[in-house]
Structure 1
Amino acid sequence: MDKYEYKTLKFATTGFSGGDLEIGKFDLELNKLGELGWSLISCFDTNMIQGASRLVIAVFQRKI
């Protein structure tokens, strides 16, 4: 049976009312983890007000 470990990253949004994600920085972090064998399994946002995103949460897994 395969065993996995998990890693969760939080990315803050910017902008006056939130919702803006620095895509270059986001991609850089995803690519760094990919090079270390992590696979992205889920990505979602958390709301603050009127549907604006406060945080983007990315969940990764890799075999151990």
Structure 2
Amino acid sequence: MSPDSMPPGYARSAAEVNEQIRALWLRTSGYLSAGERAEYELLVVEWAAAIRGEIIEAA
């Protein structure tokens, strides 16, 4: 699911985003095109936000 297609207020867990990052790397054999690099960068930002959210919830 791309970030653009998510309903408002929906946030994926860090584990979900991490799985998508891993799938991207596997699908591309570790060689990212410009478009794939942009997707990867968005995923990393989303993953970092999810991690922060999970830490805040745990506190």
Larger radius of gyration: 1
What range describes the TM-score normalised by the shorter chain of this pair?
Answer: 0.3 to 0.5
Structure with bigger strand share is 1
> How does the TM-score come out when normalised to structure 1?
0.34
